[in-house]
Structure 1
Amino acid sequence: MTAASTTVAAPVRRTLPVMRGLLMVFAALTALAVGALFVLADNTSETFAWTIQPPITAAFLGAGYAAGFVLVALSLRDPVWAHNRVPVLTIFVFVVLTLVATLVHVNKMHFDDDFGGLSFLAKAAAWFWLAVYVFVPVAMLVALFRQERAPGDDPAPEHPVPGALRLALGVESAVLLVVGALLFVAPDTATRLWPWQLTPFTGRVVAAWLLAFGLATALAAVAGDLERLRTAAIAYTVFGVLVLVTVARFSGSLDWDDPPTWTLLAVTGAMSATGALGWRLAPAPGRIRV
């Protein structure tokens, strides 16, 4: 018997309990944000951490949180870390960028003295938002460090992404990353890039979602494995579809003669289509010994 024949494959690295715990926390937080932003888009002055106008912006952010909820909910069902790495990195990028935006525009939050006449709920939401976005990035960084050092290996990729889909994902990633970077660094460019009015604060939080999904799309294209793409593809589809719903719901907020309106629709439609295709092609999750 040769040494090669007696080699035992290393166990597959599994998602650690500490990471699963953080995902559970994020699932609860994103569910609350969907209610406050997507469902109650017209009422952020009373129910959210800061007032978001116009309401279409709140609904757009709520669509991002709905996709985030899908990311974490599906990740919690899959014990294999390699399948959860892209979703977790997507969340991490978003929370770090949102923390930066919050600290830069902290004077817009409802706990400032200028908002003394608001309800207790609005003020509590502001403090809760700040606490979450200070705690979660630090906790995720620690969990990621421990997760990548956990014993075991990533399973070998077995389901390559078709070349045409990888190309489409690469193009979409480039668009999301460029627009997101411009909005985050110079939110005043929103008047030329975005189809409705954004404040510097909301522009940067919108940019955080664009950059997070742009990174996720790039990683999915580079990884080139449908099994690792599946969770992100489902969330990507949800985000695209809900943004289209948001546009239909607040169609009066858009200038339909403005090129950015049609650019947004084209990019969102492409996101929905490529996400759905990746979802369709990816193998259904099975039982994997970890």
Structure 2
Amino acid sequence: MSTGRHRRHRPGDDRLLTATRWTALAIVPFLVIAVAVLFAAPDRSGELFAWPINPPMSAYLLASAYVGGIAYFVAVWRERRWHRVRHGLPAVLVFAGALLVITLLHFGRFSQNLPFAVWLTLYATTPIAMVALLVLQGGADPRSPDPADVTIPRWARVALAVIGLSALCAGVAALVAPAWVAELWAWQLTELTARATGAVLTLTGVVNLAMLRDERWSAFRVLFGAQLLSLAAIAVSLVARRDDLLWERPLTAPFLALVAAAAVAYGALAVWAERRLRTMRVAASG
């Protein structure tokens, strides 16, 4: 019995399923509300968000990740080709799964309010939804470039994978040994905020490591746009909350260097790829 054209695809047809698009759209309002609360009223996060976050820099970092998430999920809603957004779903799966585990480990630290009920529901269901969508999308990626596409040089992919691996290692360390990382981090952390920071750092790692096996710019264009927005939000947050930074901590300079290196690398690659893409399209139309 057929399950309908919106629920299945032919292998390699590159079709983004309706279920994937609607799931992405359903997540966006929650992220928008979280960004508004965490940026505008971090001192009231215990009341308006899932738990009290202090200092505000931790709230700003989480909000910055959500800014990138909004851009990504809106793009998924608007997109029609699976390969252009596929590498984002594993990153969301790891991020959401980590936050679910963190919530269970620190359950008593969370506010027993409506925002926490929404938080718990969101992070209890998102990992399941991501796994289901990855299974449903199956082999939809044709593994071929777009008609007009750019091949990312191997050295650039390796360099970005190194940045991603650095972020992923730092994220895993914060998740596994939060007390140790909290003593070294660029601003004051509790075990809960250390682990939440670690979850944020995994996003870059999972996405960038995928570049080792995929050289298509079309497969990362959406994700790089989202990450650049997130990095811009982090940069603004670091300036706005510079008094939260503890310059004597061993990880302050490396964290700032990682943010700067990622911003420069993503920005440079995006400009280079978009220029080549524009040149290809002009040549094709002429």
Using the size of structure 1 for normalisation, the TM-score is: 0.85
Aligned to 1:177: 168
| Separation in 1, partners of 2:129, 2:28 | 15
Aligned to 1:147: 137
Do the aligned partners of 1:177 and 1:215 also contact (CA within 8 Å) in 2?
yes
Superposed CA RMSD: 2.1
Query: Alignment partner of 1:85: what SS?
Result: coil
| Separation in 2, partners of 1:167, 1:194 | 26
Do the aligned partners of 1:38 and 1:60 also contact (CA within 8 Å) in 2?
no
Do the aligned partners of 2:85 and 2:220 also contact (CA within 8 Å) in 1?
no
Residues matched between the structures, number: 265
Aligned to 1:37: 38
Picking from 205, 208, 217, the partner of 1:217 is 208
What are structure 1's unaligned runs of at least 5 residues? 1-8, 112-122
Aligned to 1:56: 57
1:103 aligns with 2:92: no
Do the aligned partners of 1:71 and 1:232 also contact (CA within 8 Å) in 2?
yes
| Deviation, structure 1 residue 164 | 3.5
Aligned to 1:243: 234
Superposed CA deviations along residues 196-231 of structure 1, whole A, max 9, x for unmatched, are 111111111111111122110111343121111111
| Separation in 1, partners of 2:136, 2:225 | 27
After superposition, residues 168-207 of structure 1 pair within 5 angstroms as 168-207=159-198
User: What is the percentage of aligned positions where both structures have the same residue?
Assistant: 26
Aligned to 2:252: 261
Code of the aligned partner of 2:191: P
Query: Alignment partner of 2:51: what SS?
Result: coil
What are structure 2's unaligned runs of at least 5 residues? 1-9, 282-286
Code of the aligned partner of 1:219: A
| Separation in 2, partners of 1:132, 1:11 | 31
Using the size of structure 2 for normalisation, the TM-score is: 0.86
Aligned to 1:161: 152
| Separation in 2, partners of 1:10, 1:130 | 35
